[in-house]
Each structure stands twice: as structure tokens, then as C-alpha cells.
Amino acid sequence: MPQPIRFIFGLHLHQPVGNFGSVFSQHLDEVYLPFLQKVDEREFFPLVLHISGPLLEWLESNGKGYLDLVGRLVDAGRLELLCAGMYEPVLASLARQDRIEQIGWMREKLRKRFGFDARGLWLTERVWEPELAADLADAGVQYALVDDRHFLVTGFERNQLHAPWMTESDGRRISLFPIDERLRYLIPFRPPGETAAYLRELANEGHRMAVLADDGEKFGGWPGTREWVYEKGWLDQFVTTISALVDNGEVELSTFAQTLPAVPIAGLAYLPTASYREMEGWALPAIAARRLINLETELGEERLLGPESGLLRGSHWLNFLVKYVEANRMHKKMQALSLLCRDRGDPSVARVAIGRAQCNDAYWHGVFGGLYLPHLRDVIWRELAIAERMLRIREPLEAEVFDIDADGHREIWVHSSDFSTIVSPYRSGGIEEFTLFASEINYANTLTRRREAYHLVSAKPGNHGGGDEQGTPSIHDLESRIRLNELPPVDALPRVLLQERGLPAALDQKSYERGDFDSLDVPGDGPLPYTIESSADQLTLSFKLVETGITTFEKHYSFAPDGRLTATYRWSPAALAPEGTFAVEVSYRGPLEITASPAADTWSYDITTVAKSEKGLEETVQGRSVTFLWPSSVGSAMLELLPASGVERR
């Protein structure tokens, strides 16, 4: 009989900062508690558990004894706890000092709550960069979990990945445990016997270790899994099946801490920038993502499961900040405030708020809504507002000019003790953020309607992968079934708070709402020269479009210290088509009062996107669009913006 294979069974439980309380409660009742109670009842241990910081904080107040159960199992040596960044950031997206601090917060939390010194790290979304090794080591981490794919794209063979490896950066070392993708797709979606057969196969080949570490939510929280895992008895059957292997000496349940000294390090590995296969595909722009999907289809499932699969890649997680300008705005504002916070003595209220704003979910989009869920973006901006309010106490009204979003062009950051706004002269003076600290709302937090790869899939009959009578479909099987009968509208330009356009007189509102129109030349979407004039009670940004020595368009943003905004426009009627219309679209989220002078016709509609979720395609209202229209002959207009009454949060 071969030596028993160490089977490490790890769960990652997570909920993002700002998710609805009802979602936390539902997952506690239907996933987290039932799973842990069942394995405790069946004495199916040891296991490994990671609980994300936002979920851990919620469970401390609402957990119905869940953390007491975790604590009892930890004390008994039946659970190993993993650390991570406290508020579930993608570590590769943070400054080094922020990475180390986030991990330190989590490790300290686990020490205080459970008396457990966590030396293993759950790598959020398994986003790896080579330089992380040094930072993890500096944070006290001894080993981290990555996907086997990280090794495969480097040229390793699958049969090399059933042992821990060593890596280093700047002379600091950590061990890496490859997570087995095949186990991720077997558990819990296939009958337990298939997992047992696979573990026997590995053991017979002489392998010493097999690692399953994946989202705990798929054990009852993903569509169809609650019925499959609990009501149809998958979990009971799985425990029975694997326990029989344990009793027979074929399998040994183990933790990472137990395995590291028992299974020899396989050698040195330097892994490239990588994440899991699906993530790399989601990070691609829509057209490139469709090319990748088509190429995968041409290769076929057999070759994709073979050694060539590691040579076929998408993009890296950080490309989401290129793909979605809204994600980049949040990310770069977070970075700027993190630096400002450290420069001003790092007050704890601001630092924790910045840490919470680093939660990854709202910065990207895959099979789950992520960036497309407005309440998740809202909470990022709320935390940034809390931090900036603390950092700007008693500050006067002023403006800074520098490239805040790292695109090679300078923005204007206007701020006081009451508000903060970002204006881009390079993008025709668009207001990309407009945050008032009293309400903790960024009123520019809408979302551009853009083409996604899954919009481009035509309907196909028949089965598109997934479960049968012996299994249940995974979330990625469900993703493959998404089909659209009609393409949703897209926006020609990224949305900003105020967008000026010249419109043809014949344009109707329905075409305008769908984006089926061409703007006239005033003011265009390119760079605009600007000036800044400031006094104690007002700061004005002025932009002008000059053609052949004649000013054809100008606008002035006047900010009061409390954030009240007045936008004044002047244009040359001759620059518009005869009988044309000058229009200003206000795209906003949150209660906002807008006054126009002179009176104008208005078109208004909800800014609605069609995006993937775990339930399929969903329409989501991202904000409100109100467009003010004046005949070109008017030549000038003004808008005043201020929060609606009664929205102050604190």
C-alpha cells in the first residue's frame, strides 16, 4: 500500500465591505453554520479556514455563536486559520507598507480573538506578483496559497505540483502551496466517489499532498448548491467517502502547518504575475476576451485540460484598472489618500477607513457583479470620504494639480474641509469625482455603459456545460450559459458628472438614451486649456476652446468652500449646426438638486447596465442622467448643483 496522501481541505469565507446585512445573514444560516456544524458532528478534521476581515467583524456582532464554535475547534487543534489582508485587498494593488499593515491587522485580530498565530496566507483572488514574497515574509507569513496555474504558466508540469515549493524576493523566502484546480472543480460539484478516485490516483503515483482551497460559499451559497450539498446529501456522502479512505490508511487529513515539515520542499520556483484562469480572461477588454474564448473553443476541452493550457493566458488583475476607468478613479484616490494619511501622522480613523476602501470586490468584474454593484462602489467612496474628512479638518479651499490617476496627464484636485473633487482638463474638463464629506457621497459615482465580452455571445441551443443527474453545475458552468437576445446600449465616452455636447436638432430622446447619436464639435472630448482663480470664499476653474483665434466655447466651475458648485457655459452659436442644441448631461448618483438658468428642456433616464451575476444577466440602475437642452441661439447657460435636503449622514 502506498504512503497515505495528505489531503488539505481549506475553505475561504468572505463577504465584501458594505455588502447587505441580509446577504451576511443568509450565508451564515445557509452556508457557514451548516457546513461547520456538519463536519463537527462527523468529526471530519483537521480542516483549514480563512474568514475575511469584513465577515469576521460582522460575525463578532451577529454570528449566533459561529465564532465560538470556530474558537473551540481551533483550541482543539482541529482548525488551522489563515490570515490575509484584513479588509480583503488584492495585495498586488497596494503600496508595500499598506500590504504589510493589512496582514498585520488580520494576524493581530486572529491572535486576540482565537489566540492563534496565523503564519499561512490566503492570497486574495490568488493574484500573485513576484515581489510579494518579500512583503509577505516581512509581515510574518511563512507560506501562501496560489493556484497550480501559477506554476503551469511558468512551465512546470502538473505532476510536480503536489508538494510545497520555495520562492524568494529581495532575499526573503516563503513557501508556496499549489491549489489543485481539478479538486476545485470536483468539490462539491461532482459525486464524492470521483474525488476519492482522484486522490487514490495521486497516491498511487507517489504524490504526498493534495490541496483543495476554495470559496466556502460554493457549499450552499452558489445557485443550486444548497440543495445539492445539504438536501441531496452531498456533504454527508463526501465525509463518509473520504473518512473511509482515512480509516483505510489511504488518505490523511492535514493542515498546511502540519504538511510543511512533513512533505519535503520540491525546490525553488519563481512565479510570474498571475491569477486563476477565469480571472485572467475577465481582465481582458471585451474584443480580446472574445478572441480568447474563440481560441479556447477551437482548441477543445481535451487540449485545454492538457499541458498546453498553461501557455494560453488572459491579462493580469491590474488590467481591470485600465478596463474600467471607474475602478481606476477609486484606486488612485485611495492611493493618494493613503500617502496623505501617512504624511499627516497616520490618524487611526483615516487609516482604517482607507484600509476598508481597499476591499477588492468593487474594483473588478467577473462572473459576480463586483464593480457593477453600485452599493459596493458607494461604500468605497464613503470610506474614502470618511478618511479625507479626517485628514482635511479646518483646511481652506484650494486646488492641487498633478497626475492623480497615473494616465500621463495632470488633473485638478479641488478640496476643502467639506468636499473633494477631481477635474480632468485633458478630458474636456470633466468632473470625475464630486464628494461631499457631510453626506459621504461621491455624486459622480455612476458607471459607464460599455460592451462586455458576454454581450457578444449569440444564443445557442442545448446544454452549455455543468451538472447532470450525478452533479450540479459550478458557477463557471452557469456563466457559460449566459446569452443575450439584444445588445444593450453603450456610452461613447466615460461618464463624468457634467458632459457638454452639441446635438443635432433632429435627435430624439430615445436615440439619445441609447447612445445612438453623433455629437457636434462643441466642446469635443479632448484637452482644454484652463486657469485657476482662488479667493477665500470661491475657487473657479475656467476652460476655453479657441479656434483660429476665436473662443467658440468656455465653461467655468465655481466652487464654494462647502462644495456648492456652479457651472457657467458660453458658446458660439455658429459653432453648432443650424437649429442645433447645446446640451449638458448630468450623470449622478445620490440625491442632488440641479437648477438651470435660463430654463431648459430636459431629458432624463436611469443609467442602467446589463451585467453578469451569479444568477445570470441582471439589469442594474447605476445612477440618474438628466440632460439640459438649450437652443444654440441662446449662447450661454448656467447650472447650480447642491445635495438635496436631508441627506447628511453624520
302 CB-near residues (< 8 Å, 6+ apart)? none
Closest C-alpha to 325, from 426, 476, 439: 426
Indicate if 117 belongs to the active site: no
Query: Residue 46, preceding bond cis, omega within 30 degrees?
Result: yes
Q: Which of 98, 125, 147, 440 is catalytic?
A: 125
Give the integer Cα–Cα distance in Å for 157 and 188: 25
Which SS3 state, helix, strand or coil, does residue 532 take? Answer: strand
Question: Residue 648: what pLDDT?
Answer: 45
- The residue type of 94 is L
Indicate if 125 belongs to the active site: yes
Question: Residue 459: what pLDDT?
Answer: 38
Give the total residue count for the chain: 650
Query: Each residue of 160-199: b (16+ CB within 10 Å) or e?
Result: bbbbbbebebeeeebbbbbbbbbbbebbbbbbbebbbebb
Question: Residue 226: what pLDDT?
Answer: 94
Question: Residue 643: what pLDDT?
Answer: 85
Give the integer Cα–Cα distance in Å for 65 and 80: 19
Closest C-alpha to 434, from 533, 557, 605, 532: 557
C-alpha cell at 13: 469565507
Q: Would you kindly state where each structural domain of the chain is located, as residue ranges?
A: 5-275, 453-643
Question: Residue 524: what pLDDT?
Answer: 65
Q: Which residues of the chain have pLDDT under 70?
A: 1-2, 458-469, 472-483, 521-522, 524, 645-650
Q: Which of 40, 57, 215, 398 is catalytic?
A: 215
C-beta of residue 121 within 8 angstroms of C-beta of residue 141: yes
Question: Residue 465: what pLDDT?
Answer: 42
C-beta of residue 558 within 8 angstroms of C-beta of residue 565: yes
Question: Residue 94: what pLDDT?
Answer: 98
Give the integer Cα–Cα distance in Å for 132 and 171: 12
How does pLDDT run across 583-606, given as a tens digit for each residue? 999 999 999 999 999 999 999 999
User: CA of 384: how far to CAs of 91, 430, 561, in Å?
Assistant: 18, 20, 19
User: CA of 493: how far to CAs of 102, 135, 325, 498, 524, in Å?
Assistant: 36, 39, 11, 12, 11
| Fold observed for domain 5-275 | 7-stranded beta/alpha barrel (3.20.110)
Give the integer Cα–Cα distance in Å for 79 and 344: 41
Which residues of 196-340 form beta strands (DSSP E)?
Answer: 209-215, 251-254
